[in-house]
Structure 1
């Protein structure tokens, strides 16, 4: 694993029945990068993110995933001490993954469970440090006014910013965001992407985000990795991704839905 890399994916494959979702994918992610994973539905974006976070196992064989210099999984098996590694990786989901009946504050405070006695979290007896960190994170995401509200009463954008705040309380060094704006209106989507960009630029957090919106990938991410049929077909600066390449990745129909902001 290169010295500057915080994630290393080597020859990773994943099959579901007869379909190969990932086909010998290799990728190095340096500390402080903000990378967009793009590609059509079924290209392997979410599968790759879930594999990095050890939410699913990869195929047996030579495939290996490392984070912070230690193994996450290899040869189809999750590393024994992966929980320690996962405390440093925040996962943001398309559907927010908040506990609807709990307040936004409690959901954000749950980010500290890897560092405190789980019984305290179960009964909501949060340490002062957690309370301070949770309110600071909510304020930073612009949703502190909703701290006492049940999560399921909030808008999608508010919930997603709460999910990012939870990753801050977790003290994550890597944020993996799987289609974080797919369910949001354009204004909320921009706010979420701007929040992720701010954490990347100001805090130096490494961000890997899967996106269907190509214009967001080009606008907010310096590096783009495109997948097609489980293989990486482009890996480079966002400014280097040309119209013809995007049409090759997505098909000729992409021409009809080419968003403003994409390369001309």
Structure 2
């Protein structure tokens, strides 16, 4: 893929006797919105954490690149990975906001890769950061809560704040690790709508892990399925039919298959 912004080659990750990733290779093109699906323990979160250099892959031939430069290879994080990380926003299931700080401050922290850290430590935000933070909060529909402590907000509000922080970061890739797993259906839809809007309106590349297969099919054109650390499907959402989903998740999936699923 000539316009790939992410490239994973032969990446493996072992935890004790368990291989969480097993020779995974994947390319992500600029402006794609991809869903990563698969059973619990299939390697979805491990893959995202490896792409963002939050953990190392095993030594060997594995290599991960972003924007044409190395993130890690042979079990070692690249020396200049911090510069690459500034262009990758990570959204976590549990929001990863600092609860005692205001929502505004949490969002402004997205600018730390570009401003003096001492200024950020004392909350002396440049005018550009203040403007960007309020614009991002407004876009996510949570500007009214800017002065409120993050831990007093609902899960959906916090998650939209985390997305706003990625906007202030000026991320070009958003990695979202089960961002709606702990949210009610209405809040989950708002978060997924926000991610899709960033993908379509801003051209951001989005890779999102999901347990809700119906969301994967509704919001993402491309779906990558992992099972036991290996990619077992990589293709259009329209091609992910009932038989393949049962093969990925097991026969019990038939019992919980949603009404109106593809035949």
Pick the TM interval, shorter chain: over 0.9
Task: Give the CA RMSD over aligned residues.
Answer: 0.6
What is the CA–CA distance in structure 2 between the aligned matches of 1:81 and 1:62, rounded to whole Å? 20
Equivalenced residue count is 263
Give the drift of 1:262: 3.2
Gaps of 5+ in 1: none
Moved over 3 A (4+): none
SS of corresponding position for 1:262: coil
Residue 34 in 1 paired to residue 33 in 2? Answer: yes
2:150 corresponding residue in structure 1? 151
SS of corresponding position for 1:62: coil
1:22 corresponding residue in structure 2? 21
Residue 250 in 1 paired to residue 249 in 2? Answer: yes
SS of corresponding position for 2:108: helix
Residue 111 in 1 paired to residue 110 in 2? Answer: yes
2:237 corresponding residue in structure 1? 238
The TM-score, its normalising length taken from structure 1, stands at 0.99
The superposition leaves residues 6-53 of structure 1 with CA deviations (integer Å, 9 ceiling, x where unpaired) of: 000000000000000000000000000000000000000000000000
Aligned residues of 1:214 and 1:259 also touching (Cα < 8 A): no
- The 1:253/1:71 distance shift into structure 2, 3 A limit, reads same
The superposition leaves residues 51-75 of structure 1 with CA deviations (integer Å, 9 ceiling, x where unpaired) of: 0000000000000000000000000
SS of corresponding position for 1:15: strand
1:50 corresponding residue in structure 2? 49
What is the CA–CA distance in structure 2 between the aligned matches of 1:139 and 1:226, rounded to whole Å? 34
What is the CA–CA distance in structure 2 between the aligned matches of 1:204 and 1:66, rounded to whole Å? 20
Give the drift of 1:160: 0.0
What is the CA–CA distance in structure 2 between the aligned matches of 1:259 and 1:101, rounded to whole Å? 39
- The 1:261/1:56 distance shift into structure 2, 3 A limit, reads farther
What is the CA–CA distance in structure 2 between the aligned matches of 1:260 and 1:167, rounded to whole Å? 35
The TM-score, its normalising length taken from structure 2, stands at 0.99
What is the CA–CA distance in structure 2 between the aligned matches of 1:44 and 1:263, rounded to whole Å? 25
Give the drift of 1:205: 0.1
